[in-house]
Amino acid sequence: MRVRIGDVVIGDDMPVAIQSMTTTPTSDVEATALQIKRLEAAGVDIVRVAVPDEKSAKAIGEIKKIVGVPIVADVHFDHRLAILAIKSGADKVRINPGNIGAEWKVRELASVAKERGVPIRVGSNSGSLPRDLRGEDRAVALAEAALREVRILEKVGFHDIVISAKSSDPIETIRAYEYIRDRVEYPLHIGVTEAGVYETAVISSSFALGYLLYEGIGDTIRVSIAGDPVREVIAARKLLSALGLRREPRVVACPGCARAVFDVERVARRVEEKLFEVGKPITFSVLGCYVNGIGEGENADAGIAGIDGKRFVAFKRGKIVGTFKMVEMEDVIEDLLKDL
């Protein structure tokens, strides 16, 4: 089943879309649009904004005049804000079955969403489960919280639905999505909620999302990281690339050992920055010594490998193009990237 979110289509065999969420007050149109522009430059496909009040809901229309990606309104507690966000131009709304309230509110929202052709994401979270589902198996409770709301939407003839069921526990997250996958065919937005600061968040999300995507579960993803949301987009791109679901820039770098004759981490980070600026799916190898240098290079578009403290070798598509002095490294890398 497919769902259209602005110009982005998800579901079935469509590419997995990358989502992130702004951290600026949505009512601050200029700041929010600027952050979305940064997310666009990093490669985001869909952006969610918080809608805690009327001013934020109304700001969506102004934000959409400035940015080029679909905007999702994230609404809790008050279904009227979701309706106002749709009327202001939101491309999708997200509601939380744990706090959106009575069935008539969901029906009222569905009526407006259907009239405007706007999809609804039913998104349950482990931190805000409906009271009557608390104390159950949390993975099943998460899934059933979302499916309960989905059944309400279906009863009123609304089927333009996306589902998410996020836990802060990666294994619970996996089990919740497997439960949902076995019962409905709607597109799934997958992620680990409240995943933590950078290292913890990336590890937890890579495990859960990588597992689900490898099993064919998931149509949009968010790698939730506390802090700058641009890092979420970059991490998501790298995850999709590792799974073979996208071709992205990639730096192959050795972990470093006593044989390394230059600072591998520093050079690899610099190359990665350049590759993401270019945006093309180039694979570049940075190897500290000659042990795996050319061997790894056979699978890369280009790369370098150390020889000794004074020299390194450069290669392109598996063939050596020359031996150079260490002081020439930056210029040689620039030339290799230009050639590609």
At 71-92, the pLDDT tens digits run: 999 999 999 999 999 999 999 9
Is there a common fold for 2-242 and 250-339? no
Mean pLDDT value across residues 170-175: 97
Residue 209 CB contacts under 8 Å (≥ 6 apart), including other chains: 190, 191, 192, 218, 221, 223, 239
What contacts 24+ positions apart, CB below 8 Å, involve 136-142? 138/167, 138/169, 138/172, 139/167, 139/171, 139/172, 139/173, 139/175, 139/176, 139/179, 140/175, 140/176, 140/179, 142/166, 142/167, 142/172, 142/176
Please give the pLDDT value at position 150: 96
Per-residue confidence at 66, pLDDT binned at 50, 70, 90?
A: very high
Q: Among residues of the chain, what percentage have pLDDT more than 90? A: 82
Mean pLDDT value across residues 308-334: 93
Cα-Cα-Cα-Cα dihedral of 318, 322, 328, 334, to 10°?
-40
Please give the pLDDT value at position 55: 98
At 229-256, the pLDDT tens digits run: 999 999 999 999 999 999 889 999 988 7
What CATH architecture is 2-242? Answer: Alpha-Beta Barrel (3.20)
The dihedrals phi and psi of 126, each to the nearest 5 degrees, come to: -65, -25
Per-residue confidence at 98, pLDDT binned at 50, 70, 90?
A: confident
At 186-195, the pLDDT tens digits run: 999 999 998 8
Mean pLDDT value across residues 292-317: 86
- pTM, entire model: 0.91
Size of the chain in residues? 340
Of 99 and 10, the structure prediction assigns the larger pLDDT to 10
Please identify which residue in the block is written with the tokens 């601050």.
28
CATH topology classification for 250-339 = Sulfite Reductase Hemoprotein; domain 1 (3.30.413)
Please give the pLDDT value at position 286: 95
Residue 194 CB contacts under 8 Å (≥ 6 apart), including other chains: 127, 168, 224
Per-residue confidence at 306, pLDDT binned at 50, 70, 90?
A: very high
Please give the pLDDT value at position 101: 84
Of 291 and 198, the structure prediction assigns the larger pLDDT to 198
Query: What residue spans define the domains of the chain?
Result: 2-242, 250-339
Question: Does 298 score more than 80 pLDDT?
Answer: no
